A and B are shown apart, each in its own frame.
Chain A
Amino acid sequence: MKAIITVIGKDSIGILAKVSDACASADVNIVEVTQSVLQDMFAMVMLVEIDKSNIGFDQLRESLNAVGESTNTKIHIMHEDIFNSMHKI
């Protein structure tokens, strides 16, 4: 299953590294990353493959939330299908 991780917040050093680190330690493969910084606001979207993850979805969310707290950003992880169904016919 693929999921989408979004990171939104004020830009600071090391956000991408910390999120990637959390993914790597959970055996979550990052398929694609896009990011943009508009003024001071940082927005990053990651497509990840979570089938081989060594932790459950809930734990993965918790570990990403912890990264969000430490980097002062808001991080969501959601099933890819929710976006596909809303934005593609």
Chain B
Amino acid sequence: MLETKDILETINMIDNEHLDVRTITMGISLLDCIDDDIDKACTKVYDKICRSAKDLVKTGEDIQKEYGIPIIHKRISVTPIGMVAAPCQSKNVVKFAYALDKAAKQLGVNFIGGYSALVQKGFASGDYALIESIPQALSETEFVCSSVNIGSTKAGINMDAVKMMGKIVKQTAEITADRDCIGAAKLVVFCNAPEDNPFMAGAFHGVGEADTVINVGVSGPGVVRAALAKGGAGKDITEIADMVKKTAFKITRMGQLVAKEASKRLCVPFGIVDLSLAPTPAVGDSVAYILEEMGLEVCGCHGTTAALALLNDAVKKGGVMASSHVGGLSGAFIPVSEDAGMIHAAENGYLDITKLESMTAVCSVGLDMIVVPGDITPEVISAIIADEAAIGMVNTKTTAVRLIPAIGKMSGEVLNFGGLLGKGPVMPIRKGSPEVFINRGGRIPAPLQALKN
């Protein structure tokens, strides 16, 4: 028989500490939907998604009821549409976004990712048109998420794509300015994008993946914080790291169980568990609060990068033994607007974009959900993307940029998305123009780290 204290611990994690499975994401390959007639291709895309994922939401709900574990999101990722659209030679690529949106609505999932292009080394047929259509696609659809991979350790950084993405991010915010610039919150610019990421907005289904696959993203910053609050007083850093590891192990075991069960019930292969601490704006479900529990007065003060590095590493070490396959982003997320502690730190001037940039060197993603002044130029957005991509490229890790230019707002004001996307204060950016650097175009050569063969 199980120990009563263990059972009560699990119940307490769910009831009081926000333990949940953040997402069950079904990856669906659309390679067999390719057609040179765009309308036929879109019909095939819609049909295949609806066929493959018809039981996804119900299965997620059934597992939630039986196991008593909240499963917050049921989502879908698809093959980067840039590839699917390649033979269409159509300027009207946005039709694919409508097909994805319609399928998402039909199935009841809350996001569908993969309106994407992989252009780290150059633009293939279809990529350019897809990227150009992103602002319209994100403005005219509700559930579609988009991502563009502009660099990798192996390929270097495609500075033509970086330049282009500065404009696209700005345009996406402008075209959705009447809805708190929400379009930009659904657009991620990656370096070293993982092909099995279950988390939005950057999820897509890589070409090396099986036809369909189930990936699960776990969560649980609240549980880690509570464990440190209960047992962390007077402990040294090694003991703190051990406590995080043990907690991450438990959280991930639950994710693994849900992933295997979902895979079995849906008859779809299990892909990976993504070991991420994904915060929500709910009080207590914050990565920043974990760092503060470790002994920082406020997230953003000196010492934050070291504390985050420790947390990120301990989460991986604890989680990796708990799951048979680990992948995706796996680490701690630091989306500013989605984390109550980060919002507080940013509003009170403790956390700025430069500190966040250094934090991204040691955690799993990048500059995420950061609201910047509406008058930011496309070149500055491009330069922020280039900086972040350089960190990812050199450190052989994923980095991403999800900036939201708050059109019509200046630093000090707030953009409020509501729900899980939260709210973010407009953060000041650094002075000086990178315009000439960005307008050069070309490609930053791959670093020596790429030459491992």
The residues of A with any CB-CB pair to B shorter than 8 Å are 4, 6, 8, 32, 34, 36, 43, 45, 47, 57-58, 61, 74, 76-88
Contacts and interface: CB of A to CB of B under 8 A. Distances in A.
10 pairs of A and B residues whose beta carbons are closest in the complex: A78-B68, A87-B6, A85-B257, A85-B253, A79-B67, A86-B250, A82-B67, A45-B4, A83-B2, A86-B253
Contacts of B15: 74
B416 to A, nearest CB: 34
A26 B2 CA distance: 24
Interface of B: 1-4, 6-11, 15, 65-69, 250, 253-254, 256-257
Given A6-B11, A77-B68, A82 B254 contact: yes
Contacts of A88: 2
A61 B257 CA distance: 21
Contacts of B67: 78-79, 81-82
A17 to B, nearest CB: 20
15 contacts: A6-B11, A8-B11, A32-B1, A43-B8, A45-B7, A47-B1, A77-B68, A81-B257, A82-B69, A82-B257, A83-B6, A83-B10, A86-B6, A86-B10, A87-B250
Given A6-B8, A77-B68, A84 B2 contact: yes
A58 B65 CA distance: 7
A82 B10 contact: yes
A88 to B, nearest CB: 8
Contact of B68 (A34, A36, A79): A79
B351 to A, nearest CB: 33
B68 A43 contact: no
A34 B4 contact: yes
Contacts of A74: 15
A4 B2 contact: yes
B8 A8 contact: yes
Contacts of B65: 57-58, 61
Contacts of A80: 2
A86 B254 contact: yes
A6 B7 contact: yes
A83 B12 CA distance: 12
Contacts of B8: 6, 8, 43, 45
Given A85-B256, A85-B257, A86-B250, A79 B4 contact: no
B66 to A, nearest CB: 5
A43 B1 CA distance: 16
Contacts of B6: 83, 86-87
Contacts of A85: 253-254, 256-257
A58 B4 CA distance: 24
B96 to A, nearest CB: 39
A82 B1 contact: no
B222 to A, nearest CB: 16
B10 to A, nearest CB: 6
A58 B257 CA distance: 21
Nearest to B321: A89
A51 to B, nearest CB: 13
A83 B69 CA distance: 11
A32 B4 CA distance: 12
Contacts of A79: 66-68
